[in-house]
Structure 1
């Protein structure tokens, strides 16, 4: 196996063939991945664009999309946890969502796992593609000046990605940088720890513990670990079992994959077709009508993939 070129999340082809965007994206990912980082002995984390890795196995790491810290904080009051989750600053499991309401009732929930880094690279290399993408995903009213500031600098917290819609993460620890570098925070303590001891970092998220623990398991077997290609954070499953329409019958399939592919979903929408005589807010989960996006996020499964193997001489 030779060293790799990092592909775009879910093999997206937003820019035309031959665009400088693709090389710029590879450079951005390579910048975020440390060449060689010691983890739990004797293995290490490596950058597969620099290190020739003979891949022996692939590990799919999964967790659910609702914030574990909120569940811990509101252990005995789940409605309070769901209400608090509507603030995107606490949506910290690498899943963020935007709720659309009409007269107070939820009509649509849009979930994303897209990262700000992707859109910053688009802004720097293909600003028209950036604009076209925003217009398709959020509104035809988006203007380039809304997205790009002086000198072509991308504005991730623009109104179309905050109050008026959603395109990618805005919560600071939700990012490609954080996913690829999740081990960096703990690497200095990893060698002194056993996998069954408390994790040597303060985050209480379900995602970070899963990502780090699995890396340790593989490196302790003497394997080197690396990001799967294409690197990304993906929605891999969702479950509406037991959800009911207003008449008490099971819901139909109201999910739409708006971006990505099977096993690598980046944008997922939940909306009842206009042909029905009810909306999302009329659907019940466990007998209770949906009042927040968090109640749906709890039923979404997220993933990141890692490969492991031996380094070629």
Structure 2
């Protein structure tokens, strides 16, 4: 039996349905990925900034989808520190008229959110600056228009990735996977979704012959995907929407099925080891595909704290892990190593 490996580098955001995970998009693998960036991550405990509890963010015009995401990103490990590294490096795309990039606008907002002297009026201006910078290139994110939280997350990462040569901030969300093909003739919850993604698929060798020797006998070809490099922060998009047939026509509708998830998620790797992730953020979508509202559950990641908060635009209240795990409207899950 022989095996062939086919490498892929994927963004860490995936669509997770009750029976499968579908990669959202592939990223060009022209630069090297390091699962353990020892120069930075080894000094995490001594360099990490204290994370202040979430503060209310004003809705400046149908921006709840951005606010709910920003609350989670404000607590995301390594992100603030990596953004500093990005800004310290030269930028490939720079607006010399305003001296502002998406990266710097995002960094300024996160710094304000983590300030003891947080001012919601100033925050509104910073949110506006960030949204305007993103929407100048991705027009669907204009202030006043409803949009999707996951789409905004991908657009934000894409702009930061394009602006920075070092790409430090986006690396913490990146995954490397490998396809493995095995040939005979030559030498419904989150955990269930991961199992389905990594399950073997079986084909007749005559249909999928070996690409090395061309063997296409009467045996079977089996294909499986595996995680070779896992990110520091794993983001999972739950499959909240499904196709339904009405009167012979297919329509997209929000599913009422709840997908269960736990505080810990074990993810296997291609070398036989595994990584255990811990939940720290849940973005919720309330409503239907035609309109709705976004909120989030966020864990304050300051050292020696276990406090959870429920963030609904400018209203932030104390919550618990139990309430986050019971959410029937969970849409995006954020896990850290």
Please indicate the TM-score interval, normalised by the length of the shorter structure.
under 0.3
Q: Highest Rg: 1 or 2?
A: 2
TM norm structure 2: 0.22
Higher strand share: 2
